[in-house]
Structure 1
Amino acid sequence: MRKNGKLSNLYLIIVFIILYAPIFYLTYYSFNSGGTMHDFERFTWEWYKEVFHDTRLFIIVLNTLIVALLAAGISTVLGVIGAIAISNVRRNRTRNTLLSLNNVLIVSPDVIIGASFLIMFTMIGIKLGFISVLISHIAFSVPIVVIMVLPKLQEMSPTLVDAAKDLGASRWDVLSKVVLPFITPGIFAGFFMALTYSLDDFAVTFFVTGNGFSTLSVEIYSMARQGISLTINALSTLIFLFTMVLVVGYYFIAQRNNKAAGMGVRK
């Protein structure tokens, strides 16, 4: 048993090294004054200063954050409604069909999703830009929220709802004071997952973005095509740190919710 445990730990260490080594390599050279990713000359903040002094890049960062926050917020609302609707379906066959349809956008290749949205927006006359990117991000984020919220709904005992109804609670009271508080961890998980997916998405955004509007993922791709620039390293490092802050924030929120739930059970 101990030998298997050591092998498992060794395997995890190797996996994490493979995953994080390129990121640390990129971050390391973002402080290189030499301007290349081969020979480190001396420590500098030059490339980070370029990122913060680039007005166009600041606007693109703002566009990315606005799209991500709006997409995450709207998809969270729609995803919670969808998860509650699916959980209330009585017939197993119908419920499984709805779940399968929900999972289509998760398992489908991003290229196909992006091309499909591009064709749809062209056919119905929606100009490519902020609106098209926002709609696309909401579309692929909603299924993620549904997947995050459904397990919490399945954990909830039906007797809680029945007890609330027996005590005279209206449908809105049951939803707002019983169901939503119970599934709050799932809602937060769905929101943060949707936010992360929106911030990181490239393939779908590349298809549906238009002239005059861009996001960080598309901009980094365009910068990389022009040649190696350590500004890309600095920008990518900042995005990685921002994502880590989101993950840590979600962790502490989940821990606090778990403690609150534990105290509630003890009472």
Structure 2
Amino acid sequence: MKRTGVLGKIYLLLVFVVLYAPIFYLLIFSFNSAGNMHTFEGFTFKWYEDVFQDTRLIIIVINTVIIALLSSAIATIIAIFGSIAIVNVRRRRNKNMLLALNNVLIVSPDVIIGASFLIFFTIIGIKLGFASVLLSHIAFSIPIAVIMILPKLQDMSPTLIDAALDLGASRRDVLTKVILPFIRPGIFAGFFMALTYSLDDFAVTFFVTGNGFSTLSVEIYSRARAGISLSINALSTIIFLFTLALVVGYYFINQRRSKLNGVGVKE
């Protein structure tokens, strides 16, 4: 048993090394004054200055954040009502069918999804740009949010809703004062997962972006194809640190909430 535990720790360490070594390599060379990824000659902030002086890049970053926030918020709202509808389906066969349809966009290859959206938008006449990217991100974010919200709804006892109705609560009160507070952790988890997927997505976005509109992932890909530039390293480092700050902040918020709930239960 001890040997198995040691091997497990070694395996976990190797996984973390494989995952994070390229990121730290990229981070370190973002401060390289030599301008290449081979020899580190000196420390400089030049590549970060280039990023912040690039007006076009800043606009693309703003576009990416707006798309991510809007698509995640809309997808989460739709996922809440979709999850409630799935839970309320009585026939198991119909419920399984809805769950299977929900999971199609998750298990399907991104390239197929992107090509499908491109064909769909071309047929119905939607111009490729902000609208097409937003609709695509909403579409693939909904199943992700549903998967995070649905387990919380399934954990909720139906007697809570019955008790609220017996006490004279309206359907709206049941939704806003009973269901939503209970599934709040799932809602936040679904929103942040959708936000992460939207910020990271490249394959789908690559198909549905048009001339004059781009997101960060597509822009980084375009610049990387043009040749190695350490401004890409600097930009990637900023995104990584920002994402890390969000994850750490979310973790501490959850920890504080758990402590407050623990104090409430004790009282």
Q: Same fold (TM over 0.5)?
A: yes
* 2-structure distance, mates of 1:67, 1:23: 25
Structure 1 residues without counterparts, runs of 5 or longer: none
Residue of structure 1 in register with 2:73 after alignment: 73
* 2-structure distance, mates of 1:95, 1:241: 41
The answer to whether 1:62 aligns with 2:62 is: yes
What letter corresponds to residue 240 of structure 1 in structure 2? Answer: F
The answer to whether 1:191 aligns with 2:191 is: yes
* 2-structure distance, mates of 1:23, 1:82: 37
**TM-superposition CA deviations, 1:159-188 (whole Å, max 9, x none):** 111111111111111111111001000000
The answer to whether 1:174 aligns with 2:203 is: no
* 2-structure distance, mates of 1:259, 1:78: 31
| Pair 1:171–1:257, CA change in 2 (3 A) | farther
CA RMSD, 1 decimal: 1.2
* 2-structure distance, mates of 1:167, 1:64: 46
Residue of structure 1 in register with 2:225 after alignment: 225
What letter corresponds to residue 166 of structure 2 in structure 1? Answer: D
* 1-structure distance, mates of 2:32, 2:11: 32
Residue of structure 1 in register with 2:239 after alignment: 239
Residue of structure 2 in register with 1:47 after alignment: 47
Residue of structure 2 in register with 1:132 after alignment: 132
Q: How far is the alpha carbon of 1:257 from its aligned partner? A: 3.7
Residue of structure 1 in register with 2:121 after alignment: 121
Structure 2 residues without counterparts, runs of 5 or longer: none
| Pair 1:264–1:162, CA change in 2 (3 A) | farther
Residue of structure 2 in register with 1:256 after alignment: 256
TM-score, structure 2 length as denominator?
0.97
| Pair 1:127–1:99, CA change in 2 (3 A) | same
| Secondary structure, aligned partner of 1:146 | helix
What letter corresponds to residue 189 of structure 2 in structure 1? Answer: A
* 1-structure distance, mates of 2:259, 2:169: 27
Report the number of matched residues. Answer: 267
Aligned runs of 1:20-169 on 2, under 5 Å?
A: 20-169=20-169
Residue of structure 2 in register with 1:212 after alignment: 212
Q: How far is the alpha carbon of 1:259 from its aligned partner? A: 3.5
Which deviates more, 5-14 or 38-47? 5-14
* 2-structure distance, mates of 1:55, 1:83: 41
* 1-structure distance, mates of 2:111, 2:172: 41
The answer to whether 1:19 aligns with 2:43 is: no
TM-score, structure 1 length as denominator?
0.97
| Secondary structure, aligned partner of 1:98 | helix
**TM-superposition CA deviations, 1:19-38 (whole Å, max 9, x none):** 01011111110000000000
Q: How far is the alpha carbon of 1:84 from its aligned partner? A: 0.9
* 1-structure distance, mates of 2:176, 2:70: 22
Percent identity of equivalent pairs: 73
* 1-structure distance, mates of 2:49, 2:208: 31
* 2-structure distance, mates of 1:122, 1:65: 25
Q: How far is the alpha carbon of 1:244 from its aligned partner? A: 1.1
